[in-house]
Structure 1
Amino acid sequence: MDGGTNRIEGLCAAILCGGRSARMGRDKASVPFLGEPMLARLARRLSDIAPELVIAAGRKERSLPPLPAHAHIVHDERDYEGPLAGCTRLASAIAPQTRHVLLCACDLPLIDAHTIRALHAEVGDATAIVPVVAGRAQTLCSLWRREALEHFDRLWRCGKRKMAAVLDLPGLRLLDDDALAAIDVDPTFLVGCNDPVALARAEARASQDQP
């Protein structure tokens, strides 16, 4: 990953990790990935490219693995409200100078600096960049303009509870498999490890990529 001098100015990495992890069978944030808790790995890697790190950690009483000292942790008002609830907590925690926010679920251990830079380069005038892998929008690995976060709160107050609701917002740019290939982004890096099989597959891939 990139060092601190190569960070993307004005970028905040926001990790959402307040879910039940039902398909994994245990808390994904603490699941070991190559010997490191998955949340700790993702936070470390994202900190190499994003100057700001915010973690929407769900319930207040949960325990978290060791995280970078500069991480700002926010909590839901009630347990297991879902990722959209976590998104509504982000705006107040993000620095005023932030221009873009990378939304990531905590189960994306393969995402790297190249992928983030490639997505960031595609924002332009769009409200957000949302990858679409095999026909499924990856809202939990998307890049947003900071001012767009106010839409999340509006959706929540209108009774929306699913992340899919954000796909109806104006100005989104969806990158399908062909568009991702054109910017040299591996789509497998953008899809979460929701169960033990996906986790094992990702670990095998990461082991191959290590020098």
Structure 2
Amino acid sequence: MKTVAVLMAGGKSSRMGSDKALMSIGSRPLVSILAERWQGVFDALALSVDHTKRFAHLGLDGIQMVEDARPGGGPMAGLETIMGAIPADRYFLIAVDLPFSSPSLAHVICKEIGNSDVCLIRRRNGRLEPLFALYSRRCFPHIAASLGRGERSFQHGLFPHISVREITEDRGECGL
């Protein structure tokens, strides 16, 4: 079963005031840290971006960059574009602002999905983590339909129409 890790770096970073993906820890941009952390964890590694030009100078070898087909459409539109561009059975999303995210926790999520369409963490505060989650290819038509209705939220536009498996933050003790 082919699984693609997808670094989600297409957002506007409007709350941050600057591009999150290119913000540095030490001297390295977040996207470079994530690319190194996730290289080889799954069958392939992809980068979902609004414009590939922003990342060309980073030399992210071995990563397929996919430019959003619906610019400004949010993460669900980015996932739709990735699913259309890269054939796979499953897609593991990783938000670019999770530089210390755990591949071990990702594997826990992958084991827990079972026959569900999505598996993700529910935090202790009740919030879901849709940008550190595993999505089955079966979500593709539902994502397209949700976006077609103008619904860009995973939680409100997609999750009511598919099978979602939640694991508690305590279950995924390895942390994000």
Same fold (TM over 0.5): yes
State whether structure 2 residue 98 is matched by structure 1 residue 108. Answer: yes
Whole-Å separation in 1 of the counterparts to 2:135 and 2:43: 16
Please list the CA deviations of residues 125-171 of structure 1 after superposition, one character each: whole Å capped at 9, or x if unmatched.
11110211121111111111123233211211122122322221321
Aligned to 1:159: 150
DSSP-derived class of the 1:168 partner? helix
Equivalent of residue 129 in structure 1, options 112, 119, 134: 119
Whole-Å separation in 2 of the counterparts to 1:126 and 1:92: 21
Whole-Å separation in 1 of the counterparts to 2:132 and 2:29: 19
Which structure has the larger Rg? 1
> TM-score normalized by structure 2?
0.87
Structure 1 runs not aligned, ≥5 long: 1-8, 190-211
Query: 1:59, 1:77 within 8 Å by CA — same for their partners in 2?
Result: no
How far is 1:104 from its partner?
A: 1.6
Q: Which moved more, 1:167-176 or 1:131-140?
A: 167-176
After superposition, the Cα gap between the structure-2 partners of 1:172 and 1:78, relative to the gap in structure 1 and judged at 3 Å, is: closer
**Identical counterparts, % of pairs:** 24
Aligned to 2:132: 141
Query: 2:70, 2:77 within 8 Å by CA — same for their partners in 1?
Result: no
State whether structure 2 residue 174 is matched by structure 1 residue 185. Answer: yes
Q: Going by fraction, where is strand more abundant, 1 or 2? A: 2
Q: Which moved more, 1:59-68 or 1:32-41?
A: 59-68
How far is 1:90 from its partner?
A: 1.1
Amino acid at match of 2:154: M
Q: What root-mean-square deviation, in Å, do the aligned CA atoms of Structure 1 and Structure 2 show?
A: 2.0
Please list the CA deviations of residues 159-207 of structure 1 after superposition, one character each: whole Å capped at 9, or x if unmatched.
2122322221321111233xxx234332xx1xxxxxxxxxxxxxxxxxx
Whole-Å separation in 1 of the counterparts to 2:103 and 2:152: 31
Query: 1:60, 1:76 within 8 Å by CA — same for their partners in 2?
Result: no
State whether structure 2 residue 168 is matched by structure 1 residue 168. Answer: no
How far is 1:113 from its partner?
A: 2.0
Query: 1:54, 1:93 within 8 Å by CA — same for their partners in 2?
Result: no
After superposition, the Cα gap between the structure-2 partners of 1:78 and 1:121, relative to the gap in structure 1 and judged at 3 Å, is: closer
State whether structure 2 residue 32 is matched by structure 1 residue 40. Answer: yes
Query: 1:15, 1:104 within 8 Å by CA — same for their partners in 2?
Result: yes
